[in-house]
Structure 1
């Protein structure tokens, strides 16, 4: 059962995609990088992904009483693998022609780990710093966020199904607890090990849970707001926060953490 279509999510996706693309294009404007906070687009994607998977699972559980994890993984594979394989085949001859032997080894490792949805682990272990220039030189660096999402999809469906069946009335509270624990860990560990916190699931878990928490609140505690002014002002305020983050924020050792949540 597909969740109800929400056009605002497509709007957020568009903002996230454009911000990440412009960030990695490394465009200079007035002696500064345009959209130097464009990497926040990835954080937007995490929240959207968490919202969608939670909506999908809760809708299907409420309507059919069950959720097929096997079919869910099959849909994910059909959606992701064809495009990923095409990118791999397209980049292989360019890598073979242009890279030195040691660079070709690194490229091959990044390809394999991307296919296994574990590239975030590889980039963390290789101490690869995420940035606009690095993204241009390493085409599979971008798959780290996809790996984080797929690792989340391995864990979260089982967790949510268990909570739904045995602690349904406490879903919002338990997701809030999980979010706070992951956020506290991320904020504490980011200055100590920026690479791990940036690439790995434990410090990104809270962002996906934020979307899941919002979906759960909307599903289990629906409250319709008829205040037209508020309905217009709140999205505008949210857009302003996102725009400020994308235009002015810079990647630093405290991300992800409380600074990410605030902005």
Structure 2
């Protein structure tokens, strides 16, 4: 074989490899688009959450803080009076319910502040929904994968909905393996600050009245002590709004 023929064959071989490589990448991209656009998988007996797709691994990598970057989360302080504690509990239930309604209407910008208020107090579905908004950057909310995964992680801890734990695992699968320890540190920090133990919130799963669907209900462990400070009208308002739906 002449030198020119060898060069032509090498060129054709390189072109063939490039074409095959491009075809493989297109094929993989198609699979990823299908996988990433799949909604949260619910059990047959769970109340739908209405969550969306997953971010690509590259965005998960870029958005997580460096390994030596300290993750700091802070909680709001209360003045400790019975009236203040009662109002905090009432406001949390109302924020949780309002955030739920807005989230399910896909009004993410409006939902986020309400969900944040309830998430900081330990309400599981508020944490999960806020995490979803932040991980994906829904609406006009700036994407914050680290914070979103932190919220999703604490939502998946302890007593929670199976769909939330599955969602965390699905999102985690898009995080490069070498970043898993970093992600675990973020989740641990959020759980230490906003988990049920830290917030004094108890969450129980049960059937939604009149249906076979499963729901989760979160309440403050000491709530019974402060109901009288909320006032009858406030308690009735909570029940009318369905504030105990999660």
Which structure is higher in helix share? 1
> Smaller-chain TM-score range?
under 0.3
TM-score when normalising by structure 2: 0.23
- TM-score by length of structure 1 reads 0.22
Which one has the bigger strand percentage? 2
**Higher relative contact order at CA 8 Å, sep ≥6: structure 1 or structure 2?**
1
